[in-house]
Amino acid sequence: MAVKFRDYYEVLGVSRTATADDIKRAYRQLARKHHPDLQPAAERPRAAERFKEINEAYEVLSDPDKRGKYDALGANWKSGMDFTPTGGERDSAGAAEWEDLGDVSDFFASLFGRAPGRTRRGGVRITIPGSDIEAELPVTLEELLHSARRRITLNGNRSLEVEIPRGAREGTVLRLAGQGEPGVNGGPPGDVYLRLRLIPHPRYRVAGDDLEMDLSLWPWQAVLGAEVRIETPDGPVTLTVPPGSQSGRRLRLRGRGLPRADGSRGDLYAVVRIVVPERPSAAEREAYETLKQRTTVPADRPAGG
């Protein structure tokens, strides 16, 4: 009796040279996509047929013996062509066993008989791992500095507590094992992956393990040096500005940057920015005029350079 040839490679969307890992990966994606329990009620009958077809293809191509027997038919068979099994594909009673099998295709039964684990009344129970959930978690600089615990809500109703560990950075991915989508038929749940995104801070910039901040100085503070009070993540400190500090100079405060996983910390750099009065008083203008007259600009330095 002729049956229709089934191209199992085409069903899974893989090539005939696909590896076992390729086949498993394709099967998992398709099985999750077409599992009837994950479909709207109106789509379940059609999904069930597709799901059965996917499982049948995987059962053959994931088993080296079955795959070898299937491949022996040759690569010239095309899906839908008539295929007549030989006597070797019939059972010991001489009758083709596919005749009353409702849970496998005629093509499968003509090649392999009844599939192990299958019955005439139902199919194999397939367990499918749950899908992973990926999301972005905005964090503040303070949370990176001091570590923190956050409560987040997934899918609008499920609440989870997340720990932001010491040494976390922008782009760090936190994994919450087993907190993803539930599996099907007892399959394990997926995981939740949270990628940290740092919210810009109004005062500090992150540079690796270090922090940077702008230090605004009046011209006379930069020229003569000064003691200035600045805010750091650990509280206010007095910083000594050396005489002759140019704009862009970086003054380091050790151990006041971001914490590292080993317990140490980066540094904080105060970057000098020289500012001038926007509306100088008459006395200030006079002082600057006097300075202008008494300042000798080196010949190798262009005006304004």
Query: Do residues 108 and 89 touch, judged by C-beta distance below 8 A?
Result: no
d(CA 74, CA 83): 12
Region 138-164: what's the mean pLDDT?
Answer: 89
d(CA 89, CA 98): 10
Which CATH entry fits the domain spanning 3-112: 1.10.287.110, 3.40.640.10, 1.20.140.10, 1.10.390.10?
A: 1.10.287.110
pLDDT at 33: 85
Domains 133-198 and 205-294 in one fold: yes
pLDDT at 59: 85
pLDDT at 116: 44
Residue 145 CB neighbour total at 10 angstroms:
18
Look-up: residue for tokens 């409560």?
151
Which 8-state DSSP code applies to residue 265? Answer: B
The domain 133-198 having CATH identifier 1.10.260.40: the answer here is no
Residue 11 CB neighbour total at 10 angstroms:
21
Can you read off the two tokens belonging to residue 10?
Answer: 């085409």
Which 8-state DSSP code applies to residue 139? Answer: E
Region 184-208: what's the mean pLDDT?
Answer: 91
d(CA 19, CA 28): 14
Q: Is the pLDDT of residue 263 over 70?
A: yes
Q: Is the pLDDT of residue 118 over 80?
A: no
Host H or E run for residue 270:
strand 268-274
pLDDT at 115: 47
Q: Is the pLDDT of residue 75 over 60?
A: no
pLDDT at 303: 52
pLDDT at 154: 82
Pick from 2-11, 115-124, 193-202 the range whose average pLDDT is largest.
Answer: 193-202
Look-up: residue for tokens 């010239």?
76
Region 223-230: what's the mean pLDDT?
Answer: 95
d(CA 127, CA 171): 33
Region 40-56: what's the mean pLDDT?
Answer: 86
Lowest mean pLDDT, pick from 111-120, 159-168, 182-191, 233-242: 111-120
pLDDT at 301: 59
Region 48-73: what's the mean pLDDT?
Answer: 87
The structure's pTM equals 0.60
Give me the amino acid identity at 212.
E
Q: What residue spans define the domains of the chain?
A: 3-112, 133-198, 205-294
- 3-state SS of 177-211 is CCCCCCCECCCCCCCEEEEEEECCCCCCEEECCEE
Mean pLDDT, the chain, rounded, equals 81
Pairing mode, strands 192-198 and 173-176: antiparallel
236 CB-near residues (< 8 Å, 6+ apart): 229, 230
6 CB-near residues (< 8 Å, 6+ apart): 53, 56, 57, 79, 105, 107, 108
Region 276-298: what's the mean pLDDT?
Answer: 84
Which 8-state DSSP code applies to residue 117? Answer: T
Q: Is the pLDDT of residue 240 over 50?
A: yes
Lowest mean pLDDT, pick from 8-22, 177-191, 286-300: 286-300
Which 8-state DSSP code applies to residue 95? Answer: S
Band (pLDDT 50/70/90 cuts) for residue 125 is low
**Fold category of 205-294 in CATH:** HSP40/DNAj peptide-binding domain (2.60.260)
pLDDT at 120: 38
Q: Which residue has the higher pLDDT, 92 or 107?
A: 107
pLDDT at 271: 98
The proportion of the chain whose per-residue pLDDT surpasses 90, expressed as a percent, equals 41
